[in-house]
Structure 1
Amino acid sequence: MNPNVEIYTWSSCPFCLRAKALLKEKGVEYEEYVLDGDEEGRDKMAQRANGRRTVPQIFIDDRHIGGCDDLYALDSQGELDPLLTEKSA
């Protein structure tokens, strides 16, 4: 079973584009929530992200990863790939 990856973004956000590029490079499918003008969606994201309102906010299997820099830090520490590997049901 593939991990459930979710990312909250703005369509023109360079950090969002960079985070999605890393996920794409790793062959990860993700659910994207584009928040352009969606304050209700942003409020929901902030509630899930411990009050963080910046984008992107990334979740893997409902675990809050954080933003773009957090995603790249996990990758450089070798901790991202294990989160993205298939898990047995």
Structure 2
Amino acid sequence: MAKVELYTTGWCPFCVRAKQLLNSKNIPYHDTDVDREPDQRAVMMQRGGARTVPQIFIDDRPIGGCDELYALERAGELDSLLGANSGESGTK
């Protein structure tokens, strides 16, 4: 199973949508709230080159945000990136 990491905030509707998609596929992920851990925003920006949330990484590869995650799903590419069909949903 791929390692999935998200950088999010608690108030972002796009963050919620990204997590809903991953949860619906039973994909475990690590969620870093950059409002609660402000130093992590700089890490997120260095890793992915963007300052907006969510920022999503699959096996350390920057995927982008919610729109890019859903585009991968629509194209039928997300499952192969995730190496998924099983797992437990959740965070940290």
Fold shared by both chains (TM-score > 0.5): yes
| Equivalent residue, structure 2, for 1:40 | 39
Amino acid paired to 1:25: S
> 4+ runs of 1 displaced by more than 6 Å?
none
Unpaired runs of 5+ residues, structure 1, are none
Secondary structure at 2:79 match in 1: helix
Partner of 2:62: 64
The CA deviation string for residues 38-83 of structure 1, in whole angstroms up to 9 with x for no partner, is 4321011000002x00000000000100000000001000110101
Partner Cα separation in structure 2 for residue 3 and residue 37 of structure 1: 25
Compute the displacement of 1:26 (Å).
0.7
Q: Tell me how large the CA RMSD over aligned residues is.
A: 1.1
2:73 alignment partner, one of 75, 82, 88: 75
Q: Tell me the TM-score normalized by structure 1.
A: 0.89
How many residue pairs match? The answer is 84
2:74 maps to a residue whose letter is S
Identity between Structure 1 and Structure 2 (%):
55
Q: What 5-or-longer segments of structure 2 have no aligned partner?
A: 85-92
Letter in 2 for 1:6: E
Given residue 26 of structure 1, which amino acid in structure 2 is its aligned partner? K
SS in 1 for 2:57: strand
